[in-house]
Structure 1
């Protein structure tokens, strides 16, 4: 009687161990090289995505005037980076604006500094940012605020793109997932070599 119980317990443990080794995000199957991004970052330094090989890069697309989605995602990324402990140094968050008209380099740098000074912000011309969005399949639409001739919001795709240390797109996490899921996926990807 005890043996079947032990067998069932060991099979359950094996299933849990197998599930623990899988990403919680949707995966790119097969993984493919992440589209290159090369331009000046909000801090004025040259940015090239391929220079971050050896780290897990998480791309977030958003804008500084976003009232709800973007600050929640950035706060979750900050919390996840803190929870990673020493492994947090292997995570690089890159925030790519979908609103370059308002998101100047200075505004983007100050905004991201409220979350984590290690976060990199990217802005540029409308054309540069549209090319990056197209490469990653991100949609962004300007929506005028009712009754205003100048105020607007940006409707945009809100996913986190996980790029592994080899520079490959590995996972796509939708908005609203907990920091624990981010920690889980970054940990798995950072330990791959």
Structure 2
């Protein structure tokens, strides 16, 4: 009888130890999810007309944000084409989504005409090209990287290396997710439709 009580006591202690261990393991993951949910990227950059635009301008709308440059040979063109397709396929719901292209090569892109570049894909895509300080601040806020690289065969003798994901921001300004490069428009559209 006494042995039976000892066994029950040991099982209870083992169960409590397992619960305590689980709490220690899961707590950092829960904190990481909470931090991610409160992650609010921001930008303050001029559009093609020189008007300063900020994340607050688009409160109440979902934002599809992409960092790139007009001389990008492939990634930017593909991603903006996918965004254009999404905007077309959204129909009337497109009013709830603001696609934004942030130039990581702002000096050259302002000269080339950021509006002409974005409008060639879709009239709803807003192009932003500020100074390098504002661009760097926006990139850090979105947690993306970009850098200039020498490339003798490229226009101007250089190209830009950069993060290639498309970012979805909520109407309240929270980071929701990223769509990795190559995510088809149909998948982006399906995800957006569940949120609209």
Corresponding residue SS for 1:162: strand
Task: Point out the structure with the larger helix share.
Answer: 2
Shift of 1:189: 2.5
CA distance in 2, matches of 1:73, 1:148: 20
Shift of 1:45: 2.5
Contact 1:40 1:47 in 2 (8 A): yes
1:47-85 deviation digits (Å, cap 9, x = unpaired): 121221221101000000001000110000000111111
Structure 2 residue 164 is the aligned partner of structure 1 residue 158: yes
Structure 1 residues 32-43: aligned runs within 5 Å: 32-43=38-49
Aligned partner (choices 94, 99, 108) of residue 93 of structure 1:
99
Count of paired positions = 163
Shift of 1:183: 0.5
Structure with more contact order per residue of length (Cα contacts < 8 Å, sep ≥ 6): 1
Aligned partner (choices 12, 29, 36) of residue 33 of structure 2:
29
Structure 2 residue 110 is the aligned partner of structure 1 residue 104: yes
**Please, what TM-score do these two structures have when normalized by structure 1?**
0.78
Look up the match of 1:132.
138
Q: CA RMSD in A?
A: 2.0
Shift of 1:184: 1.5
Contact 1:162 1:169 in 2 (8 A): yes
Question: Which stretches in structure 1 are left out of the alignment for 5+ residues?
Answer: 1-27
Rg (Cα) greater in structure: 2
Task: Point out the structure with the larger strand share.
Answer: 1
Contact 1:77 1:179 in 2 (8 A): yes
Corresponding residue SS for 1:177: coil
CA distance in 1, matches of 2:38, 2:111: 30
Contact 1:105 1:123 in 2 (8 A): no
* Farther-moved stretch of structure 1 (29-38 vs 181-190): 29-38
Question: Which stretches in structure 2 are left out of the alignment for 5+ residues?
Answer: 1-31
Look up the match of 1:73.
79
1:117 to 1:148, Cα distance in 2 relative to 1, 3 A: closer
